[in-house]
Amino acid sequence: MRFYPISLNLQGRKGVVIGGGAIAEGKVQGLLEAEANLTVISPELTRRLKALAAEGKIAHINRTYQPGDLAGAFLAISATDDRAVNEQVCWEAAERDVLINVVDDPSHCTFIAPSIVRKGDLTIAISTGGKAPALAVRLGEWLEQMVGQEHARFLELAGALRGPLAARYPDFEQRKALWYDLVDSGVLDLLRRGEEDEARQRITEIIGFAPE
């Protein structure tokens, strides 16, 4: 089985998490970062999940899963240790065309959640196809040390440049070459050292103007 890696826009979309333990908590945290509209179904919750429910950040249904719970969902995660429940959730997801992840059971998944490294708008996803999640976690820890806040700041500056750069350089190939020049120019090193004025000057030398 090979999965196709994509990044989903979950903002405002309904997500359902079945289960309220530590694993479910981790899944909920990631989905909240993507601004999903979350419902957690479980008779018991971790302390953190209880706090999120009390704060109104998630909806909580205080019972076990029942058929029909995925109505209107875009995505679902089943994080229980009950194989029969997980299979029921999987079947309902298939009937409703809901994306489904059954934790630690790739054969019942239409998607799997990679290990993620975030630095601002930079997101690095690492997947082992469900075969060795621990390896993905360790690689993520290594990347956390390799990727710094300078990459996040570069993306903020790049976001401010994108529109004006397209207006000034309408030719795609020329614009593409300039983006590579920026990435390879040493701007990241300057940002890493906190020398933003120098970084802006370097950007100006390359493209003729600096981000506002």
**212 falls within a domain:** no
pLDDT attached to residue 194: 96
Give the chain's domain count.
Answer: 3
Could you tell me how far CA 192 lies from the centroid of its own chain?
24
Residue 48: CATH number of its domain: 3.40.50.720
Token pair listed for 97? 């065309």
Domain contains 161:
yes
DSSP character string of 54-108: HTTSSEEE-S---TTTTTT-SEEEE--S-HHHHHHHHHHHHHHT-EEEETT-GGG
Do 76 and 62 share a domain, yes or no? yes
Confidence at residue 1, expressed as pLDDT on a 0 to 100 scale: 67
Q: Residue-wise pLDDT tens for the chain (212 aa)?
A: 678 888 899 999 999 999 999 999 999 999 999 999 999 999 999 999 999 999 999 999 999 999 999 999 999 999 999 999 999 999 999 999 999 999 988 889 999 888 889 899 999 999 888 788 899 999 999 999 999 999 999 999 999 999 999 999 999 999 999 999 999 999 999 999 999 999 999 999 999 999 98
**Which helix (DSSP H) or strand (DSSP E) does residue 180 occupy?**
helix 172-183
Residue type, position 161, single letter: L
114 burial type by CB count under 10 A (0-12 exposed, 13-18 middle, 19+ buried): buried
Task: Please report the pLDDT score of residue 209 as a whole number.
Answer: 94
Q: Are 15 and 76 in contact (CB under 8 A)?
A: yes
Residues 33 and 107 in one domain: yes
Shared-domain flag, residues 199 and 157? yes
Residues in the chain: 212
- 71 and 160 fall within a common domain: no
In angstroms, the first-to-last Cα distance of the chain is 47
Residue 106 has what pLDDT?
86
